């Protein structure tokens, strides 16, 4: 059974059709990259999978471990092992990352019938994972993302991902706004989470990230549909030829008709 199976997914917001029939299968152990120009629906797909309710699903289905993902509340999806690294992580004044993350970890453990972590065990886990993305653990006692730099916010996302240990990780433009050093650090964090039991969807606008997180598959999203799929070399081709090239290719023309 596939980890994630998206079939003919259509989604719209306020009458604007954004996803127009997405088909995608992600198996455990695979890393899929979704590329595409602005407005192609990349982030919408990521958010729909995480359960953002501002999108209306008009057609299609999504199976996660064989279960109807679209029927689950966002928090239920998270407890079942879906993780979205946000493109724009939200600032939450007044609550430290550690405080909220402990609540999240324990919500998930409880859901899985595991014992909740106490403060000591939790801090140990946090320390180890923070080191992985070179996140200053002092930041974790500060309000979530408040006054964090762009790089710190993204590292905080990958840090949370590693603490929550998801089965399906979706990274929504995690590379945007990062300088090359921060990008390498984030990629290192992501790579260390690759494994036979985990599936990943890496949404990005730029090929650059894929130099560091090498995907098994690359999909090009255009106008709400996957216009082209291929191996990691597709990303390089895109880099060289631009998205317009996909538009013009015969395959795409066939898909659009």
Q: Determine phi and psi for 133, rounding to 5 degrees.
A: -105, 15
Binding letters toward other proteins, positions 108-137, x by CB under 8 A: x--x--------------------------
Instruction: Determine if 104 is a binding residue for other proteins (CB under 8 A).
Output: yes
Q: 41, 64, 86, 215: which one contacts other proteins (CB under 8 A)?
A: 86
Instruction: Determine if 45 is a binding residue for other proteins (CB under 8 A).
Output: no
Q: Which stretch binds other proteins (CB under 8 A): 92-100, 133-141, 201-209, 214-222?
A: 92-100
Binding-site residue total for other proteins (CB under 8 A)? 30
Binding letters toward other proteins, positions 136-175, x by CB under 8 A: -------x----------------x---x-----------
Instruction: Determine if 209 is a binding residue for other proteins (CB under 8 A).
Output: no
Q: What is the nearest approach in angstroms of other proteins to the Cβ of residue 121?
A: 18
**Considering only CA atoms, which of 169, 181, 180, 185 is closest in space to residue 206?**
180
Q: Is 241 left (phi over 0), alpha (psi -120 to 50) or beta?
A: alpha
User: CB-wise, 40 or 97, nearer to other proteins?
Assistant: 97
Q: Determine phi and psi for 206, rounding to 5 degrees.
A: -115, 145
Instruction: Determine if 193 is a binding residue for other proteins (CB under 8 A).
Output: no
**Considering only CA atoms, which of 34, 78, 29 is closest in space to residue 194?**
29
User: CB-wise, 160 or 204, nearer to other proteins?
Assistant: 160
H or E element, residue 143: strand 143-144
Q: What is the nearest approach in angstroms of other proteins to the Cβ of residue 53?
A: 8
Q: What is the nearest approach in angstroms of other proteins to the Cβ of residue 223?
A: 26
User: CB-wise, 57 or 236, nearer to other proteins?
Assistant: 57
Instruction: Determine if 232 is a binding residue for other proteins (CB under 8 A).
Output: no
Four-residue CA torsion sign, 64, 66, 71, 77: negative
Four-residue CA torsion sign, 102, 46, 81, 232: negative
Residues 6+ apart with CB under 8 A from 242: none
**Distance separating alpha carbons of residues 140 and 22, to the nearest angstrom:** 37
Distances (CA, A) of 27 to 52, 76, 164, 238: 23, 21, 20, 24
Radius of gyration of the chain measured on its C-alpha atoms: 18
Instruction: Determine if 100 is a binding residue for other proteins (CB under 8 A).
Output: yes
User: CB-wise, 79 or 219, nearer to other proteins?
Assistant: 79
Q: What is the nearest approach in angstroms of other proteins to the Cβ of residue 109?
A: 10
Q: 28, 63, 107, 255: which one contacts other proteins (CB under 8 A)?
A: 107
**Considering only CA atoms, which of 10, 30, 35, 5 is closest in space to residue 20?**
10
H or E element, residue 158: helix 150-164
Name the residues that contact other proteins, by CB under 8 A.
Answer: 50-53, 73-75, 77-79, 83-84, 86, 89-90, 92-95, 100-101, 103-105, 107-108, 111, 143, 160, 164
């Amino acid at each position: 059974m596939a980890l994630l199976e998206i079939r003919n997914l259509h989604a719209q917001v306020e009458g604007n059709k954004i996803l127009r029939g997405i088909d995608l299968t992600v198996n455990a152990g695979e890393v899929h990259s979704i590329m595409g120009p602005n407005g192609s629906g990349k982030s919408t797909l990521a958010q729909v999978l995480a359960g953002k309710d501002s999108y209306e699903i008009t057609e299609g289905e999504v199976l996660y471990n064989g279960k109807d993902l679209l029927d689950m509340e966002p928090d239920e999806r998270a407890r079942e092992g879906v993780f979205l690294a946000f493109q724009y992580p939200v600032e939450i004044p007044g609550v430290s990352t550690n405080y909220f993350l402990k609540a999240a970890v324990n919500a998930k453990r409880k859901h899985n019938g595991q014992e909740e972590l106490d403060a000591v065990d939790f801090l140990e886990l946090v320390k180890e994972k923070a080191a992985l993305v070179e996140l200053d653990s002092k930041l974790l006692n500060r309000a979530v993302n408040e006054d964090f730099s762009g790089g710190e916010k993204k590292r905080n996302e990958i840090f949370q991902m590693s603490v929550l240990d998801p089965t399906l990780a979706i990274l929504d433009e995690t590379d945007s706004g990062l300088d090359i050093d921060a990008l390498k650090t984030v990629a290192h964090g992501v790579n260390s989470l690759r494994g036979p039991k985990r599936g990943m969807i890496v949404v990005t606008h730029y090929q650059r990230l894929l130099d560091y997180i090498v995907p098994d598959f690359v999909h090009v999203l255009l106008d709400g549909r996957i216009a082209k799929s291929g191996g990691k070399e597709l990303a390089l081709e895109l880099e060289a030829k631009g998205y317009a090239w996909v538009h013009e290719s015969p395959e795409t023309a066939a898909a659009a008709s």
